[in-house]
A and B are shown apart, each in its own frame.
Chain A
Amino acid sequence: MDDHLTGILSNIGVISFVALSAYLLLLTGEISFGQQAFFAIGAYTAGIVTAMWQLPFWLGLGAGAAAGGAAALFVGLPTLRLHGLQFAIATLAFAEAVRILFELFRYQVVRAGEPVGPNGIEGFRNIRYIFEHDVSATQFMLIIYGLLGMTLFGFFLLERSRLGVAFRMIGQDGLLAAAQGVPVFRVKLMAACLAGAIAGLGGGLYAHLTTYVEPAIFDVMLGVHSLAYGLIGGLGTAFGPLLGVVIDIGLLESTRWFAGYRMIVFGGLVAVLLIVRPRGLLDERLVHRIRRLVSRRPPPAPTNAAVLGEEPS
């Protein structure tokens, strides 16, 4: 496998984590413009653990995910009582504040005669654990996809659990879910916390993949992109956001077919797609059909409203 392809695939894998993180919150009906903040927190934390404290890689990743989850819990407590737009803007404000704080954040130690560590707006260079420990690009890609696979398996279990059902119930109608005895706030907080941890894990991988992070990477664009991935790919299954990432990074960014016009093509594609399929390519209806084909059980005929969450007109 050549380096270019490995690079693209690794990139797709890492960005998928942020997309999954935004998707998880979308399931509960909340739009977050701020998942990039947890991605950034994870990246910086993992980088500090491996490059500065010289601790093992897995510890760095774990610390990144934990920091992401903890930060999400911290933000979720005051903001999850807000709704819709207010929640979206509060997460945006938080994420931008985090980005600016990283611009001001300086913490360096000397390693092998060179200063290592976050250096404000200059960013955090030389997160070289992967090179120092002779992990090849292909091996690292396999690590990324291994973790992504585990995360997806987690989503698969979640969709079959009571918690997953509670997520979707709240996403459909929070009031109704509360009336059914779902502790809405606690469940949402759990979703936010999980989403933060997933983004933090992705951030840790990202920092080690590129060996270099700077605050400018984690701007609003990343956050809104990751939100858009779920909506293009589909909200019916966790493969939806992955499909979105593949379409954007795999098809548009990495090939040179649309050089200079990438955003025009991607933007137009998304806009038209949302008119045709407001809940993305792999929406609940399609996923349900596929499941039915696979299981070959004669299902109870579901009514449109129950399966799709379409509004009665």
Chain B
Amino acid sequence: MIPFIQTTLDGVMVGSSYGLLALGFALIFGVMRRLNLSYGPSIMVGAYLGTLLYIQFGAPTYVVAIVAVAGSVMAGVYVERLCFAPLGVGAGVASMVSSFAIWMQLEQASLLMLPRHSYPFPSLTSGELLSVGPLVVRPDYLIMLAAMLAITAALHLLLYRTRFGLGLRAIIENSVAASLSGIDVRSTMLKAFALASAIGGVAGFLVLSANQQVTAMLGMWATLKGLIAMMIGGLGSIPGAIVGGLVLGVIEVHSQTLFGPQVRDLAAYGVLFVLLVLRPGGIFGTAAVSESAAHRGGDRWTTT
């Protein structure tokens, strides 16, 4: 029983990083109803800028953290300006492909900055394990879990207690009506995009400092994990992102312990596929998402 609980606990810890990634994804999707494939590569740009400072000048960890988040936000704003703002509301496909094009740009730019496959990344903790009774946890994953909960709480306050949040929710509900009632839709969307990229930057920094290295796979890894976690939880839902991330983490770690590392990803994709077929809206029901999508004139993905 103890090994099972330990594995589940490890899964929750890993899952908190997926949950963090999915939060940023869900925020962008929730507001825009469009998929930003460049989400992971934006995080990568920030992380690589931070790593560059760390390697070249031995920058302290907090500087690396700030640069990672700032770089991610900058890249995110670039993506929004180039792929999302100029293309109209109906151009879901074009935006997505365009964000994929920028993915390639950002990834290559990062690799021009630091060409090797992997680089060291500063760690937040000394790497000692904490033991709680018979169980052990890694402190850097505890930080990740705490960060996820804190960011979720902050996001909740922002969405339900501020004018900006009100505007954002109005846009999610109906962007035309929101614009008619005097909300600056474009600038709110840009801010939401920057916020999501910042959350992604934090997630990227925490994951890398737990791994103590950064690799060239970061961009694709972050996009895929964030996307899967968001799809499992429910499109564009904030609590869904958290739950989806944790579920994904637990499934992955359990299947890895049972069947080995290759089956880990296979299980994740298998669960995603089955879930999509049986329950397309994700764990956190379809009602909210599909209803608001219906108000917008159906699924915009099918029309360009």
- Tell me if A114 is interfacial: C-beta within 8 Å of chain B: no
A228 in contact with B108 given A90-B276, A100-B265, A311-B90 (CB within 8 Å): no
> When chains A and B are docked, how far (Å) is the Cα of A261 from the Cα of B109?
8
A-facing residues in B102-160 (Cβ within 8 Å): 102-105, 107-109, 112
A278 in contact with B87 given A31-B93, A96-B269 (CB within 8 Å): yes
> When chains A and B are docked, how far (Å) is the Cα of A120 from the Cα of B83?
38
Q: How far is the CB of B247 from chain A (nearest CB, A)?
A: 15
Binds B, one of A122-130, A264-272, A289-297: A264-272
A-facing residues in B233-269 (Cβ within 8 Å): 235, 262, 265-266, 269
- Tell me if B74 is interfacial: C-beta within 8 Å of chain A: no
> When chains A and B are docked, how far (Å) is the Cα of A275 from the Cα of B280?
31
Identify the closest chain A residue to B281 (Cβ): A86
A274 in contact with B87 given A82-B277, A228-B100, A231-B94 (CB within 8 Å): yes
| CB pairs A–B below 8 angstroms (19 shown) | A31-B93, A79-B276, A79-B277, A86-B276, A86-B280, A89-B227, A101-B266, A173-B302, A220-B224, A224-B37, A231-B97, A260-B112, A264-B108, A264-B109, A271-B101, A278-B304, A279-B94, A309-B303, A309-B304
> Could you tell me if B94 and A278 are in contact, using CB atoms closer than 8 angstroms?
yes
> Could you tell me if B97 and A97 are in contact, using CB atoms closer than 8 angstroms?
no
Q: How far is the CB of B45 from chain A (nearest CB, A)?
A: 12
> Could you tell me if A231 and B93 are in contact, using CB atoms closer than 8 angstroms?
yes
Given A174-B302, A262-B108, 8 further pairs, Cβ under 8 A: A31-B96, A83-B302, A173-B302, A228-B97, A271-B98, A274-B98, A278-B87, A278-B304
A84 in contact with B112 given A100-B265, A224-B100 (CB within 8 Å): no
- Tell me if B43 is interfacial: C-beta within 8 Å of chain A: no
Identify the closest chain B residue to A90 (Cβ): B276
Query: What residues of chain A lie closer than 8 Å to B304, measured between beta carbons?
Result: 278-279, 309
> Could you tell me if B272 and A84 are in contact, using CB atoms closer than 8 angstroms?
no
- Interface residue SS majority, chain A: helix
Identify the closest chain A residue to B300 (Cβ): A84
Query: What residues of chain A lie closer than 8 Å to B273, measured between beta carbons?
Result: 90, 93-94, 97
B-facing residues in A239-273 (Cβ within 8 Å): 260-264, 266-271
> Could you tell me if B302 and A89 are in contact, using CB atoms closer than 8 angstroms?
no
> When chains A and B are docked, how far (Å) is the Cα of A89 from the Cα of B225?
12
Number of interface residues of A (CB under 8 A): 49
Q: How far is the CB of B18 from chain A (nearest CB, A)?
A: 15
Question: How many interface contacts (CB-CB < 8 Å) are there between A and B?
Answer: 135
> When chains A and B are docked, how far (Å) is the Cα of A96 from the Cα of B220?
13
> When chains A and B are docked, how far (Å) is the Cα of A288 from the Cα of B96?
26
A85 in contact with B235 given A100-B262, A267-B102, A311-B303 (CB within 8 Å): yes
Among B88, B98, B227, B272: residue with most chain A CB under 10 A: B98
- Tell me if A193 is interfacial: C-beta within 8 Å of chain B: no
B interface residues, Cβ below 8 angstroms from A: 35, 37, 82-83, 86-88, 90-94, 96-98, 100-105, 107-109, 112, 220, 224, 227-228, 231, 235, 262, 265-266, 269-270, 272-273, 276-277, 280, 298-304
Select A83's contact among B107, B112, B301, beta carbons within 8 Å. B301
> When chains A and B are docked, how far (Å) is the Cα of A103 from the Cα of B220?
19
Query: What residues of chain B lie closer than 8 Å to A263, measured between beta carbons?
Result: 104-105, 107-108
Select A90's contact among B83, B277, B302, beta carbons within 8 Å. B277
Identify the closest chain B residue to A31 (Cβ): B93
A268 in contact with B105 given A274-B97, A275-B86 (CB within 8 Å): yes
A31 in contact with B301 given A82-B280, A271-B98 (CB within 8 Å): yes
Identify the closest chain A residue to B86 (Cβ): A275
> When chains A and B are docked, how far (Å) is the Cα of A153 from the Cα of B209?
55
> Could you tell me if B105 and A84 are in contact, using CB atoms closer than 8 angstroms?
no
Query: What residues of chain A lie closer than 8 Å to B107, measured between beta carbons?
Result: 263
> When chains A and B are docked, how far (Å) is the Cα of A184 from the Cα of B98?
29
Identify the closest chain A residue to B83 (Cβ): A271
- Tell me if A172 is interfacial: C-beta within 8 Å of chain B: yes
> Could you tell me if A104 and B262 are in contact, using CB atoms closer than 8 angstroms?
yes
A84 in contact with B276 given A31-B96, A220-B224 (CB within 8 Å): no
Q: Mark A25-49, 1 if CB is under 8 A from B, else 0.
A: 0100111000000000000000000
